[in-house]
Structure 1
Amino acid sequence: MSTLAERGMAAGWNIQLVMVDGVVEAEDFADKFETMKSRPLREDDIFLATYPKSGTHWAWEILNMIVAGKAEYAKHWQNSAWLEYRTEEELEEVTSPRILHTHLLPRQMPELLWQLECKVVYVERNAKDCAVSSFCQVSQQVWEGGSPQQSTFTGSWDDFLSVYQDGCAPLGSIFDHVNEWKNVSDVYDGFEVCSVKYEDMKQDCATEIKRMAEYLDRHLPEEKYQEIAEACSFKNLKHASEKIKDQTFHVAWQEGSSGYFRKGQAGDWKNWFTVAQSEEFDQKYELKCRESAIKVPLC
């Protein structure tokens, strides 16, 4: 019987996938998990937890501006502070307070996170939009060390969606990811996470920025929230990431690709999913929610 990792590669993932504690992971990251739970942390570390394509770059830049107290872009790309991608030595060089981002599940995180009660902001996005955005990215992204002629995923949209919704993609199931982070306070004795919805950020970013700032105990003048929202608009952040920010931690893309910043819209999934695909996706999501006793809205 094939593993979830083997199913993913058979569908078109052009990287070596392996199973780590029941979750599909890229083999290139597998060694990081051997020491992940014992990773050293600092009391003032701030974590941004997301499933891929949930607005990670956007929220990470916002958090940096909140901590800085001004609407100035961080020097590097957010990949510079990616918990499971960077080495302990690299992250040790980051100045406090560190704003680290991760796609890990709560049970995969360093144990000190729960002991030190570090601040965690969790950004959730419509799962169908995540699926579409993920497909568009990996169909054009070139995995580090891979052939520049080969994208990370070489299959069709149908191939991708089939394995994506079954958790056969790197970082596992989006359903499990959302449910486990929603359930953190029950599992880790009242641990408080600031949960933010991508769609709410699109509708009123300044209000959500203020809510994140208050959670971090970093209150700012009201006008600063609007300034940060403007600086982190899709158009401005895309320009900054391509023309202003240091490109050291950038990744390779096929020629003509829009890179990380594609559309930044909510609801684009309606242009991709067939009625049958949408219904099947909903059924699997609702089943996962019932299993975890958590109600998670799809839209």
Structure 2
Amino acid sequence: MAALEDLDKLLQTIPGLEVLDLNNSKGHGCKSIVYDGLYLFIPPLVLLERRNPFESLQSIKETEMKDDDVIICAYPKCGTHWLWEVIEMLKSGVIEYRKETKETRMMEAIFKDGIDAIPTPRVLNSHLPLRMLPKQIVEKKVKCIQIVRNPKDVCVSYFNHYRDMVQPFGFEGDFAEFTEAFLTGKLCYGSYSDYLLTWKAELEGSPAVPVLDLVYEDMKHDPVKSVKDVARFLGVTATDMFCEEVAHACSFKKMKQIDKDRKLGIPVGIWREDAEQTFYRKGEIGDWKNWFTVAESERFDQMWNKKMKDSGFKFSYTPF
């Protein structure tokens, strides 16, 4: 509680920083800050003590990119952790799990200074839109890999992630309330639909940026093919056998166990003590059916389809 009080006090001293309560009519929701029109998580105390969060976020755009950098671009809960391990193994040529969590390579968590300190070759990741990322991504044509996932499973996974976090980072409310927030964008990183539409528009404005589009459900259905696709995009020479080994090592079951047994946790306390305290939950296709009522599913479809009509995005909602 003392740390939370210290965080509140520090937030009040930062010029221009506004903490928003994205609450519904029941008084439930989450808290966030706003940067460049996007809702973002309130930075933990340890980060705020070092630097103004707006200056930190702005610094990302000025980061110098390397020719061999790779950036994973995705909305939360679309498979970033999974894909990060795959890429690291492909680039290193070794079946070995990273000891750190992918948050140690997350641009909006480490900012310019943290990015600069990472030795090459670097595999970075972000949930931010292209306009907030380093300008040199476009200038140097840095390779980006975008992974997407069906929105109903994303919603379920994000809800469980949010409710396992301590305040002021967590979400207060039930799943139905969260779904409404997910669809209307009253969450950190905004709505998933806005993220997809924004990325599409920004990439259309920068067509020279090399981007590999991956689909979470395809990776689950045929992980070896997906690993080969990634290797080909990265220009990595990898045998069929090695790609199979990578796919096997990065199965969801193995990744969850490694995260539990070997990963060095992120240096700030975000998880509730009674929570599982992991970024991995089920990783299944179609788990949304265990959460949505028929009426809720129909309402979700109606709102999602209206927003995403003619967008070109198509998703698989059941295993195949």
| Same fold? TM cut 0.5 | yes
Q: Give the match for residue 57 of structure 1.
A: 81
Cα deviation, residue 90, structure 1? 2.1
Change (3 A) 1:109 1:30: same
Q: Which residue of 2 aligns with 1:246?
A: 264
Matched length: 288
- Equivalent residue for 1:33, pick from 52, 57, 73: 57
Identify which of 249, 252, 271 aligns with 2:290: 271
Q: Which one of the candidate residues 262, 265, 287 is aligned to 2:281?
A: 262
2:268, 2:19 → 1: CA distance? 29
Q: Is the 8 A contact 1:138 1:152 kept in 2?
A: yes
Q: 1:287 to 1:248 in 2, by over 3 A?
A: closer
Mark the runs of 5 or more structure 1 residues left unpaired by the alignment: none
Aligned to 1:155: 173
The answer to whether the 8 A contact 1:185-1:192 is kept is no
Query: Following TM superposition, by how much is the alpha carbon of 1:158 offset from its aligned partner in structure 2, in angstroms?
Result: 1.5
Which aligned pairs between 1:64-103 and structure 2 lie closer than 5 A? 64-103=88-127
| CA distance, structure 1, for counterparts of residue 192 and residue 315 of structure 2 | 12
Residues 1:12 and 2:28 aligned together:
yes
* Residues in 2 aligned to 1:241 and 1:250: alpha-carbon distance in whole angstroms: 16
The answer to whether the 8 Å contact 2:153/2:285 transfers is: yes
Aligned 8 A contact 2:71 2:123 in 1 = yes
- Secondary structure of 1:122's partner? strand
2:239 is the counterpart of 1:217: no
- Unmatched segments (≥5 aa) in structure 2: 1-17, 44-52
Of structures 1 and 2, the one with the larger relative CO (CA 8 A, separation 6+) is: 1
Conserved 8 A contact 1:122-1:181: no
Counterparts in 2 of 1:173-252, with a 5 A limit?
A: 173-249=191-267, 251-252=269-270
Contact 2:143 2:209 in 1 (8 A): no
Aligned partner of 1:122 in structure 2 is: 146
CA contact (8 A) 1:4 1:167 kept: no
Selected match of 1:172 from 148, 172, 190: 190
CA root-mean-square deviation: 2.3
Deviates more, 1:281-290 or 1:107-116: 281-290
TM-score, normalization: structure 2? 0.83
Work out the CA distance in 2 between the residues paired with 1:279 and 1:87.
40
Query: Residue 187 and residue 298 in structure 1: after superposition, are their counterparts in 2 closer, same or farther (change >3 A)?
Result: same
Q: Secondary structure at the match of 1:85?
A: helix
The residue matched to 2:187 in structure 1 has which SS?
Answer: coil
Q: Tell me the secondary structure at the aligned position of residue 197 of structure 2.
A: helix
> Could you say which residue in structure 1 is the equivalent of 2:67?
43
1:106-139 Cα shifts (integer Å, max 9, x gaps): 2222211111111101110111101100111111
The equivalent of 1:296 in structure 2 is 313
Deviation of 1:14 (Å): 4.5
Deviation string for 1:43-75 (max 9, x for gaps)? Answer: 221100111011111111111111111211112
Q: Distance in 2 between matches of 1:91 and 1:190?
A: 23
- Aligned residue type for 1:194: L
Deviates more, 1:203-212 or 1:253-262: 253-262
| Helix, strand or coil at the partner of 1:87 | helix
Q: Any idea what SS the aligned residue of 1:142 has?
A: coil
Displacement of 1:157 in angstroms is 1.0
1:250 to 1:196, Cα distance in 2 relative to 1, 3 A: farther
Distance 1:182 1:192 in 2: 13
1:216-243 CA-partner distances (Å, limit 9, x unpaired): 1112011011111111111111111121
TM-score by length of 1: 0.88
TM-superposition CA deviations, 1:165-206 (whole Å, max 9, x none) = 111100111001122334454211342310111101111111
Partners of 2:215 and 2:64 lie apart in 1 by: 29
Is it true that 1:24 corresponds to 2:42 in the alignment?
no
SS at match of 2:185: coil
- CA distance in 1 between counterparts of 2:208 and 2:270 reads 41
Secondary structure class of the residue paired with 1:86: helix
